[in-house]
Amino acid sequence: MADQLNDVNLEAMKALDRAVRENPALGKRTVKVRSSWLRGTKTLIEVGEHQGVNGRTTPKTRRFIMTADAPPGLGGVDAGPAAVEVLLGALAGCLTSGIAANAALFDVPIEGLDIEMEADLDLRGLLGHDKSLRNGFSDIRYTVTIDSPAPEDKVRRCKETIDRKSPVLEALTTPIRVTSSFVYKPR
């Protein structure tokens, strides 16, 4: 790949950008995930295809598997990260990959990129002890450390851009419409 910085595939990013600029309908995607109960509080999560205006936009072989579980105090056996930890991991991953992509797009070489993240959770809300408390995280904090020979203002721009453009951060900070349905299978 001739057009690459920080091991980011700039050619593919620019090709997608051009295609969506020329045909905005190509930018609409549906991401599909499936979760199956494995017993106890253990869950198998399968991340699969993306659907677009012209059908599948990812290879048929695209399939990623994760396991989530709860710690023993919440009924699990700690066989995997808890769902809230997977959520934090998704945020950290989105921010990290977004900063790396921005650095490549802005011609900023990076030697290292780390994000330290922590979140506060009060189990009294989840357990129903105090209805005034959230069931999930009340605060998320993170620190981004970037090692780069580029000037600080150019490196800072990579981080500040993803703070505005991260889809995971936006999902956590801006209300989105969530709907559900129910299917009962009697035995």
The residues pairing with 66 across neighbouring beta strands, listed in sequence order, are 45
pLDDT digits (tens, 9 = 90+) for 74-83: 999 999 999 9
Q: pLDDT tens digits, residue range 85-97?
A: 999 999 999 999 9
Domains along the chain? Answer: 28-81 (no CATH), 82-175 (3.30.300.20)
Residue 160: partners with Cβ closer than 8 Å, 6 or more residues away: none
Q: Which of 98, 91, 112, 94 is nearest to 157 (CA)?
A: 98
Span 93-115, average pLDDT = 97
Q: Could you report how far apart the first and last alpha carbons of the chain are, in Å? A: 56
Contacts 24+ apart (CB under 8 A), 53-59: 53/25, 53/26, 53/28, 54/26, 57/29
Q: What is the pLDDT of residue 1?
A: 43
Percentage of the chain beyond pLDDT 90 is 92
pLDDT at residue 5, rounded to an integer: 86
Confidence at residue 136, expressed as pLDDT on a 0 to 100 scale:
92
Q: Cα separation of 91 and 94, whole Å? A: 5
Where do the H-state alpha helices sit in 5-151?
10-22, 83-105, 123-126
pLDDT at position 65, please? 96
Q: What is the pLDDT of residue 35?
A: 95
pLDDT one-digit tens code per residue, 122-180? 999 999 999 999 999 999 999 999 999 999 999 999 999 999 999 999 999 999 999 99
Is the pLDDT at 3 greater than 80, yes or no? no
Q: Which residues contact 35 (CB under 8 A, 6 or more apart)?
A: 43, 44, 45, 46
Sort strands 8-9 and 29-39 into parallel, antiparallel or unpaired: unpaired
Asked if residue 2 has pLDDT above 60, the reply is no
The per-residue pLDDT for 4 is 77
